[in-house]
Amino acid sequence: MVARRFVGNDEDARDVVQDAFLSAFRSIHRFQGESLLSTWLHRIVVNAALVKLRTRRRRPEQPIEALLPAFLEDGHQASPAVDWRPTPEAELERKETQALVRKYIDSLPENYRLVLLLRDIEELDTEETSRLLGITPATARVRLHRARQALRGLLDPHLRGRSEG
């Protein structure tokens, strides 16, 4: 599941998991028990996924501007976001929304998607995220902000319809 979130498809995720287990096997003697074994293995999978992303054929970076909200001259959003209060059917719709969020996260340009996954899903801090991605903390913060804005823009039409209905 973790590998799939990062690399975006089952075939690459299987490769990542295989690479991670080989890496864990080779370095098990360095495991000092200062964390849970599962935590240590999780980090190895995340690192293997990042290596996979760096080594596979690079896709041209997609611009994110079209996904960001538009603003009026007075600084207010042209189409303000609505309150996302749950409806009585919220529990039934939760899984559908969860799948939609995953789909839209997967659709973000890679540089933004990776920062979002590391910060918001893996809950790493900005310093660790920037170190893993080889970028500055300032770049990580900007990409995270823009990724969150884009994700909200993608989700808003779907969730807006729910709150109005």
Amino acid at 20: A
Q: What is the pLDDT of residue 87?
A: 65
State yes or no: pLDDT of 84 exceeds 80: no
Q: What is the pLDDT of residue 58?
A: 64
Same domain (yes/no): 12, 34: yes
Distance CA 78, CA 26 (A): 55
Distance CA 40, CA 64 (A): 34
Same domain (yes/no): 87, 156: yes
Name the domain boundary from 36, 58, 80.
58
- Residue bearing the bigger pLDDT, 135 or 33: 135
- pTM, rounded to two decimals: 0.59
Residue 10: both structure tokens together:
């089952």
Same domain (yes/no): 42, 70: no
DSSP state of 118: I
Residue 81: both structure tokens together:
């976001």
Same domain (yes/no): 52, 94: no
Residue 83: both structure tokens together:
């309150």
Same domain (yes/no): 143, 157: yes
Same domain (yes/no): 20, 100: no
State yes or no: pLDDT of 83 exceeds 60: yes
State yes or no: pLDDT of 129 exceeds 90: yes
CATH (domain of 115): 1.10.10.10
Range of the domain at 159: 62-165
Same domain (yes/no): 54, 134: no
Same domain (yes/no): 73, 50: no
Q: What's the structural domain count of the chain?
A: 2
Same domain (yes/no): 84, 53: no
Same domain (yes/no): 49, 98: no
Same domain (yes/no): 27, 74: no
State yes or no: pLDDT of 42 exceeds 60: yes
Same domain (yes/no): 85, 50: no
Distance CA 82, CA 78 (A): 12
Residue partners of 124: CB distance under 8 A and separation at least 6: 118, 132
CATH (domain of 7): 1.10.1740.10
